[in-house]
């Protein structure tokens, strides 16, 4: 199904997964999916998304795991796709591959330089911005439903939040239909973002990305990678317990429940949970949230 159509009908709950590197990781992912599909008999995610390594570094793995998920479960898939570092031919080939297995939804991203390849040189005809990718995809095949990334605190490299929102508008003007945001922990950043975005005339649904806090190491890593700020209160609450796994997981679940409840009250079109291929926290969060929607 097209996510653009689902969003017109209902509040969406969706999960992000990444393509595992090992057989064990893959087994773990399928256990996670099974768990998320069975913990509540009345619940099914509206879609699941599969990440794509910067510079196309996981493109075969992403494709392979997408196909396995598609074959095994009756799930709507949102395929992440990053253009930076790929040639136009590579992009066209990948689009054809996913179309052939019935993928209808793409999260069109620019991506970054792959961190693990120091002397990475992109091909001369690579696309430099996600807006160019949206346009490129639409020129090849109008039928794809396209989502793009949004940054409630601004993209870390953007000259300003306002400028970043102008570029968001460009992505939507070129043919994207919905937005999934970067993680954030202070809902006020999201509310301010929505206000600015709507002022710019952007009407597309904006789905907040939710990261359940599952460990101190993860929290440090993801705030660093994404540029999302770690509120002082969370730091003070968690730092003294940074080695107590159970404490952090419990805190993370309670924090996400409160965060999502507040967002629902504000009026969001759905939530997208960055699962990190683990089910426990997502499941515990949803057990509460499903009572509220």
CA torsion angle for 262, 210, 289, 75 (degrees, to 10)?
Answer: 140
The minimum distance between CB 125 and ligand FAD, in angstroms, equals: 16
Nearer to ligand FAD, 248 or 256 (CB): 256
Locate 136 and state its tokens: 């490129």
Which one of 21-29, 154-162, 186-194, 276-284 is the stretch in contact with ligand FAD (CB under 6 A)? 154-162
Nearer to ligand FAD, 126 or 248 (CB): 126
* CA separation for the pair 152, 197 (Å, rounded): 10
Instruction: Decide: 182 and 148 in contact? Cβ < 8 Å.
Output: no
- Active-site residue (options: 9, 16, 104, 118): 16
Pick the closest to residue 269 from 196, 185, 179, 193 (CA basis). 179
Contact between 155 and ligand FAD per CB under 6 A: yes
Contact between 158 and ligand FAD per CB under 6 A: yes
Locate 259 and state its tokens: 């965060």
Pick the closest to residue 290 from 29, 22, 41 (CA basis). 41
Which one of 89-97, 135-143, 157-165, 197-205 is the stretch in contact with ligand FAD (CB under 6 A)? 157-165
The minimum distance between CB 129 and ligand FAD, in angstroms, equals: 4
Rounded to the nearest 5°, which phi and psi values hold at 172?
-75, -40
Contact between 280 and ligand FAD per CB under 6 A: no
Tell me how far apart the terminal alpha carbons of the chain are, to the nearest angstrom.
Answer: 22
User: In the chain, what are the helix, strand and coil shares in percent, each to the nearest 5?
Assistant: 50, 15, 35
Among 59, 80, 278, 283, binds ligand FAD (CB under 6 A): 80
Mark 205-244 with x for binding to ligand FAD (rule: CB under 6 A) and - for no binding: ----x-----------------------------------
* CA separation for the pair 94, 115 (Å, rounded): 22
Among 36, 65, 77, 130, binds ligand FAD (CB under 6 A): 130
Rounded to the nearest 5°, which phi and psi values hold at 179?
-130, 140
Contact between 131 and ligand FAD per CB under 6 A: yes
Size of the site for ligand FAD (CB under 6 A): 24
Among 11, 120, 129, 280, binds ligand FAD (CB under 6 A): 129
Contact between 110 and ligand FAD per CB under 6 A: yes
Contact between 180 and ligand FAD per CB under 6 A: yes
Instruction: Decide: 57 and 18 in contact? Cβ < 8 Å.
Output: no
Q: At what angle do helices 130-140 and 161-173 cross, to 10 degrees?
A: 0
**Residue 153 known to be catalytic:** no
Element (H, E) at 80: strand 77-82
**Residues acting as catalytic residues:** 16
Instruction: Name the residues that contact ligand FAD, by CB under 6 A.
Output: 51-52, 54, 80, 82, 107, 109-112, 129-131, 149, 155, 157-158, 163-164, 167, 171, 180, 182, 209
């Amino acid at each position: 199904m097209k996510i653009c159509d689902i969003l017109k009908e209902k509040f969406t709950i969706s999960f992000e997964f990444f393509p595992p590197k090992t057989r064990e990781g893959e087994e773990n992912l399928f256990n996670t999916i099974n768990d998320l599909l069975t913990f509540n008999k009345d619940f099914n995610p509206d879609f699941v998304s599969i990440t794509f390594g910067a510079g196309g570094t996981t493109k075969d793995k992403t494709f392979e795991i997408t196909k396995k998920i598609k074959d095994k479960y009756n799930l709507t898939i949102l395929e992440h796709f990053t253009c930076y570092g790929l040639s136009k031919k590579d992009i066209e080939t990948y689009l054809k591959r996913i179309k052939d297995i019935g993928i209808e939804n793409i999260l069109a991203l620019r991506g970054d330089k792959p961190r693990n390849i120091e002397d990475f040189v992109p091909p001369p005809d690579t696309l430099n911005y996600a807006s160019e990718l949206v346009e490129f995809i639409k020129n090849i095949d109008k039928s794809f439903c396209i989502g793009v990334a949004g940054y409630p605190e601004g993209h870390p490299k953007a000259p300003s939040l306002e400028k970043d929102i102008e570029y968001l508008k460009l992505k939507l003007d070129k043919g994207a239909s919905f937005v999934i945001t970067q993680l954030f922990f202070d809902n006020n950043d999201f509310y301010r973002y929505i206000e600015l975005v709507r002022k710019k005339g952007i009407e597309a649904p904006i789905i907040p990305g939710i990261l359940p806090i599952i460990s101190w190491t993860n929290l440090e890593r993801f705030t660093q990678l994404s540029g999302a700020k770690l509120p002082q209160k969370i730091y003070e609450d968690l730092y003294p317990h940074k080695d107590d796994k159970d404490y952090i997981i419990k805190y993370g679940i309670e924090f996400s429940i409160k965060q999502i409840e507040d967002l629902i009250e504000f009026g969001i079109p759905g939530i997208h949970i960055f699962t990190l291929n683990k089910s426990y926290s997502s499941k515990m969060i949803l057990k509460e949230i499903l009572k509220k929607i």
